[in-house]
Structure 1
């Protein structure tokens, strides 16, 4: 009886924790069996306008990720914020994506919002973003994404 009472108290008090976020990587955002073209290798830095067009907008997503709590490492492309806090950004798999080279396919970009913002010390450094990922398209001036995320945390990337 004491065990049942203790269990109910834990359940009601919220001390029973849910599973930690699933750690995912960029290849997990591409459906198994889909052969994706590596757009980074084809990038040219000669300044030609066609170089900045996002290739392969028809990039399939992994629908089973929708609504999952995940953590994903990557690099920040700021969209909204100031010199103190960033509230909205694109998370991309490599530095310079969407700025210095053509954007990756939409299934390799995550549109992230974080309530209250987060300081990002250096755009050159990789970070890990934790939050709920959605299979949802977002489109802005820089790129179209196949995923969005409401972040709850951002931390420096650690191996």
Structure 2
């Protein structure tokens, strides 16, 4: 009888460790905007150069050949940022650009393509305020996308969107 109890206990420990490992293995990798820039690539900083004054040159998207991090392709990730809506209605948005700072692509020139993520989310998600940062969770790809606003270096098929909290 004692042998069966020990075997049951050991089995439960192994099962709970396996479940814990699988849950951790499937957890999205938390990434940030600098993680989208390949190591060694010198990135152009457009946030500081943004200006509402002067020539239209200020509104041209820079560094259209900015490289992406191929190793991220197909990974489950979470990435904070700001929303530039593309598709949806007054209730929910189903397609948007995720950008590293407020106003990118709307009030200031777009950042390089490797600093913009095209996001789609089945069924849509309500966005309370474009001024507030969010966190998008989903599968990232290094697939490009191009629209009227900007050229994009990454796409995410989102499974969740939440407010960003420090």
Task: State the TM-score, normalizing by the size of structure 1.
Answer: 0.89
Do residues 103 (structure 1) and 103 (structure 2) align? no
Pairwise CA distance, 1:105: 0.1
Out of 124, 132, 141, the position equivalent to 1:134 is: 141
Query: For each residue in 1:55-85, what CA deviation from the matched residue of structure 2 results, as whole angstroms up to 9, or x when unmatched?
Result: 1101010000000000000000000001100
Query: For each residue in 1:96-144, what CA deviation from the matched residue of structure 2 results, as whole angstroms up to 9, or x when unmatched?
Result: 0000111000000000000000000000000000000001100000001
Larger Rg: 2
Partner of 1:70: 77
Out of 48, 60, 67, the position equivalent to 1:53 is: 60
Partner of 2:153: 146
Do residues 82 (structure 1) and 89 (structure 2) align? yes
Out of 20, 34, 42, the position equivalent to 1:27 is: 34
Task: State the TM-score, normalizing by the size of structure 2.
Answer: 0.86
Q: Counting strand residues as a fraction of each chain, which structure ranks higher?
A: 1
In 1, Cα distance between equivalents of 2:54 and 2:110: 14
Pairwise CA distance, 1:47: 6.3
Query: Any idea what SS the aligned residue of 1:51 has?
Result: helix
CA contact (8 A) 2:44 2:62 kept: no
Gaps of 5+ in 1: none
Q: Which 4+ stretches in 1 moved above 4 angstroms?
A: none
Gaps of 5+ in 2: 1-6
Q: Counting helix residues as a fraction of each chain, which structure ranks higher?
A: 2
